[in-house]
Amino acid sequence: MDGKITVALAGNPNSGKTSIFNMLTGARQHVGNYPGVTVEKKTGLCNHKSCKITVVDLPGTYSLTAYSMEELVARNFLVEEKPDVVVDIVDASNIERNLYLATQLIEMNVPLVLAFNMSDIAKRKGLVFDIDQLSKLLETAIVPTVGNKGKGKAELLDAIVQTARLSRPERTHKISYGEEIETELASLKAVLSDEEPALTQKYGSEWLAIKLLEDDSDINAKVHSEKTLDSVRAGINHLRSIFGDEPSIIIADRRYGFISGACQETIKSTIESRHSASDMVDAVVTNRILGLPIFLLLMYIVFFLTFKIGDYPMGWLEWFFSWLGAAITAFWPAGVESWLKSLLVDGVIAGVGGVVAFLPNILLLFLAISILEDTGYMARAAFIMDSIMHKIGLHGKSFIPMLIGFGCSIPAIMGTRILENKRNRFTTIMVIPLMSCGARLTIYALIIPAFFPEGWRGPMLWLIYLIGIVLAVIAAKVLRLTVFRGETTPFVMELPPYRMPTLKAVCLHMWQRGWLYLKKAGTIILGISIILWAAMSYPQPSAESLAGLTKEQAQQARLAYSVIGRLGHAIEPALKPLGFDWKIGTALVGATAAKEVFISQLGIVYAVGSDEHSETLREKLQANYTPLTAFCIMLFCLISTPCIATIVTTGRETNSWGWALFQFFGLTALAYVITLIVYQLGSLIVP
């Protein structure tokens, strides 16, 4: 028993589960996936009283039904992995609804500890809890906590260790579902013991019986014998005729009844509060007239700040990497060509450096998104957006993954999990890439200052994003009328009170997202940078064919001889009508793998074509292209697929490579057509 414990954290969304997780594990966290699905799995480590504790953060859920992926994942984890302790994090200021999940966990008979989180807010609301009494009624340890202030940590860990160590006595206070249901449950349990021994062993007959009466699709699918299913159907029909309603509803009702009873005995409210501060803020922020403008203003501020403030550290990083390149070059005597030198400087440093240099921009964007999420504004934004989203045939909640898409398509596509309806979800996934992502931001941040005067830059960036949004709206509408035709779905969303985000939580959240982005840069792009460097440096022309050429010409010749050069030249005819040359073509080919590679690729193309390492890429671009072409480059990058990782994520989320390819080809075709039109019209207007 001593040594290792596994603890699972469960709880409603907005209950402060993340803050408890952070409180317990600090920075020792790891983000991954639950096997086979794309639901995010966070695990962390913690030590307490000679116990090594592994903490697993289950997805936030209101219940443990089979109706959503998150709930199933949470439920299956509890059954399959059998953690030593389950901590249900309950928002103490919202206790009745939060305890619904607790009743489900009690039904599952897991070793349970309840954390009454946000106990400071509950206190402020005038709620007084008789913890001892409630703990006895629920037969569960209860620990008051304030997650975002770190209060209650020691007590919670004590309760966890204690619960893990002690064997649990059989529960005496069971939730009574009323005579009729209890009778059905008893007879079902008998059937299950006979007909489904394996299932009974695994899940327990009590819980199985309840789930079957609730018509749980997941459990139904696991049942083998017809006899069991017949008994279930008979039982459900019988109950339906008695109550005039589905047994699942009655059972839910009884659970709430149990909670209500327990709470009435143990919780007193001492303050009558009419209008909270949250309500007053909401009166302004979700106002019919002010709501939308406030929202748009906030969005503009976010992007403008990302671009402006991000400039400074970006400059420092750019400087650092070029210094690094020069320092490494200095290892070789001047004039000596070496494949290792070329690999390091032109391949690795140029590649990764170009990408990491834009990390500040990305971090700032994710910082803003974290703040929006943690304050609770994000939920209001979904509310405000719903009336507009509805017109496109999408859901107010679609707005949230789309907003995340402005940071990166990958978590955004994964975030569409919150949409229950498949049609809404797939449509949202398809158009998310049109939300210009952080990687593309690196391209704009390179191009815009190179081609447009100071005053135009902010608006130009805003314009690009706007075009993406408009296209997404149109595409969504079209998709919803054709491929994903069908009814729109219900919008149900909890409205959390406004909260003051803690700096620690926001920074942790921001850093986690940024780290995910970096990992992408570190691994895939470095790999691609090196492959591209190789594809650009080899095959090499013979020394004789280079005799008599100048340095630049020799470099150009080498590039033309290489794989990439040939590919770029090969597709040039197709790209000419868009105003692109083979260099852009080459960069675009590389950029299909990951958008950040576009820049590193251009950097390499021009580094290869030029002897002047001190000249920055921007100056090179300015010398070679017109503002119209530059705009078309941004347009093409905006509309076409962000990266291979996006396609892969789409494939996994939709569980179909067909849809992933549909997205890939659809976006590429759309990008081609629109850029073509813009360039051709543009060349007529702008000389």
Partner 1 sequence: MQDKQLRPLSAIATGETVKLAKIDAGRGLNSQLASMGLLPNVEITVVRNSHPGPFVISVKGSKMMLGRGIAHKIMVL
Residues that bind partner 1 (CB under 8 A): 62-63, 65, 67-68, 93-97, 100, 214-215, 245-246, 248-249, 252-253, 256, 279, 282, 286, 288, 379, 382-384, 386-387, 390, 395-396, 420, 488-497
Report, in angstroms and rounded to the nearest whole number, the Rg of the chain calculated over CA atoms. Answer: 29
Closer Cβ to partner 1, 236 or 607, answer by number: 236
Closest approach of Cβ 362 to partner 1, in Å?
A: 31
Closest approach of Cβ 70 to partner 1, in Å?
A: 12
Alpha-carbon separation of residue 265 from 102, 114, 131, 180, 618 (angstroms): 17, 18, 11, 26, 71
Task: Give the pairing of strands 127-129 and 40-48.
Answer: unpaired
Please answer whether residues 130 and 266 qualify as being in contact, where contact means their C-beta atoms are separated by less than 8 angstroms. yes
For CA atoms 517, 519, 525, 528, the dihedral sign is negative
Closer Cβ to partner 1, 71 or 346, answer by number: 71
Closer Cβ to partner 1, 497 or 565, answer by number: 497
Closest approach of Cβ 420 to partner 1, in Å?
A: 7
Pick the closest to residue 21 from 48, 54, 50 (CA basis).
Answer: 54
Closest approach of Cβ 168 to partner 1, in Å?
A: 26
Closer Cβ to partner 1, 13 or 313, answer by number: 13
Closest approach of Cβ 103 to partner 1, in Å?
A: 10
* Backbone torsions φ then ψ of 48, nearest 5 degrees: -155, 125
DSSP symbols for 180-232 = HHHHHHHHHHHHHHHH-HHHHHHH-HHHHHHHHHTT-HHHHHH---HHHHHHH
Cα separation, 133 vs 159, whole angstroms: 17
Closer Cβ to partner 1, 387 or 656, answer by number: 387
Closest approach of Cβ 144 to partner 1, in Å?
A: 18
Closer Cβ to partner 1, 22 or 68, answer by number: 68
Please answer whether residues 20 and 115 qualify as being in contact, where contact means their C-beta atoms are separated by less than 8 angstroms. yes
Pick the closest to residue 302 from 362, 368, 238, 354 (CA basis).
Answer: 368
Closest approach of Cβ 490 to partner 1, in Å?
A: 4
From its phi and psi, is residue 436 left (phi > 0), alpha (psi between -120 and 50) or beta? Answer: beta
Closer Cβ to partner 1, 205 or 421, answer by number: 421
- The neighbouring-strand residues paired with 46 are 53
Closest approach of Cβ 495 to partner 1, in Å?
A: 4
Closer Cβ to partner 1, 98 or 529, answer by number: 98
Within a 10 A sphere around the Cβ of 256, how many other Cβ atoms?
Answer: 15
DSSP symbols for 111-147 = -EEEEEE-HHHHHHTTEEE-HHHHHHHHTSEEEE-BG
Q: Please name the amino acid found at residue 14.
A: N
Chain length of the chain: 687
For residue 247, say if its preceding peptide bond is cis, omega within 30 degrees of 0. Answer: no
* Backbone torsions φ then ψ of 175, nearest 5 degrees: -70, 125
Closest approach of Cβ 86 to partner 1, in Å?
A: 18
Read off the DSSP letter of residue 152: T
Closest approach of Cβ 417 to partner 1, in Å?
A: 14
Closest approach of Cβ 67 to partner 1, in Å?
A: 5
Closer Cβ to partner 1, 219 or 591, answer by number: 219
Closer Cβ to partner 1, 195 or 420, answer by number: 420
Closer Cβ to partner 1, 303 or 399, answer by number: 399
